[in-house]
């Protein structure tokens, strides 16, 4: 089973590639998605197995989101961030389709 050891220092080219995480001087916002219980169990198990000891669960999730966002931006938006939105997004669990009788 892999341990949560701190990764080796980045090589110089990696260090100069730019930060992967948002700037620390910005105030973080709270995001609380609803996920299936099995996903929650898998997330926590992955964090326990893979995250460096000095990373919090929030840091671990944030990096996963940053990595996935970069993939989506690369695939669907020429590698650029999507335009920001100002409207409120729908939250909560998925809406179930009503069965018609």
Spatial neighbors of 89 by CB under 8 A, at least 6 apart, are none
How far lies 2's CA from each of 23, 47, 88, in Å? Answer: 29, 11, 40
pLDDT digits over 41-72, tens only?
999 999 999 999 889 999 999 999 999 999 99
Whole-number Å distance between alpha carbons of 91 and 44: 22
| pTM for the structure as a whole | 0.62
Tell me if 47 sits within 8 A of 60, measured CB to CB.
Answer: yes
At residue 14 the predicted structure's pLDDT band, cuts being 50, 70 and 90, is very low
């Amino acid at each position: 089973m892999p341990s949560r050891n701190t990764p080796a220092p980045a090589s110089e080219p990696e260090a100069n590639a730019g930060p992967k995480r948002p700037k620390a001087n910005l105030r973080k916002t709270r995001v609380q998605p609803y996920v299936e219980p099995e996903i929650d169990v898998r997330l926590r198990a992955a964090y326990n197995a893979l995250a460096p000891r000095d990373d919090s669960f929030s840091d671990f999730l944030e990096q996963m989101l940053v990595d996935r966002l970069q993939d989506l931006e690369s695939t669907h938006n020429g590698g650029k961030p999507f335009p920001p939105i100002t409207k409120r997004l729908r939250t909560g669990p998925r809406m179930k389709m009503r069965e018609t009788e």
